[in-house]
Chain A
């Protein structure tokens, strides 16, 4: 008697952007896929609820990521000012 199974390798995704880094929206999309996985065999009601939760989490992540960027830019702006390069601060504006 045998049981079917095995050591398996899953699918991965490649993503790249040129001349910039990822936006908060792009990173949030990756994060939310990791945080919430909705199985294809899930009951439709469960899937719908999970999807709604996923959408809510995505919005929250984007908002917080933007806060992180703004906060970090404030830190960088102060470092540039202290280093005598206040003219570079405008480069941080997005």
Chain B
């Protein structure tokens, strides 16, 4: 069995937003991380809107292993305090990179390290993405009403 992943905002995250579980303020907010999954054929789990926690990934042993430019747990994301763009609330993260990296990954999970590792977003890379002795970067979109990575319209 292989990893099945679909870009989605976990349903649990939507509930947690209403429960004030997550704080995207910077400074003073939660610590968010982005963990990378293994190559599609190297894992077994299913990740989509039903994903609730980083432990879903670790429980399936689907995270990239330590080494070759990756540290388990993933990169800490630098969030930008949410603001309003017209009538939409938008949240942004600074782009994140893995340097001196050699790995193949099919997706990632943003989770809240300060709130019991609750899932924030499931990111599918549209297939396996490979990097060899190089830099692997995830670029987040502009923090605008039509584009921001996380927004409440």
Contacts and interface: CB of A to CB of B under 8 A. Distances in A.
A binds B: yes
Interface of A: 4-22, 30, 33-34, 37, 39-40
A12 B97 CA distance: 13
A20 B134 CA distance: 5
B150 A34 contact: no
Give the 6 A-B residue pairs with the shortest CB-CB distance, closest first: A37-B142, A13-B139, A16-B131, A18-B134, A5-B153, A9-B9
B38 to A, nearest CB: 16
Contact of A10 (B125, B136, B150): B150
Contacts of B101: 16
Contacts of A30: 95, 137, 139
B80 to A, nearest CB: 9
Contacts of A20: 134-135
Given A16-B135, A40-B146, A8 B140 contact: no
B7 to A, nearest CB: 7
B135 A9 contact: no
Contacts of A9: 7-9, 121, 149-150
B83 interface: no
B133 interface: yes
Contacts of B125: 14
Contacts of B152: 5-8
A7 B141 contact: no
Contacts of B132: 18-19
A41 to B, nearest CB: 8
Interface in B89-117: 94-95, 97, 99, 101
A33 B140 CA distance: 10
Contact of B137 (A7, A16, A19): A16
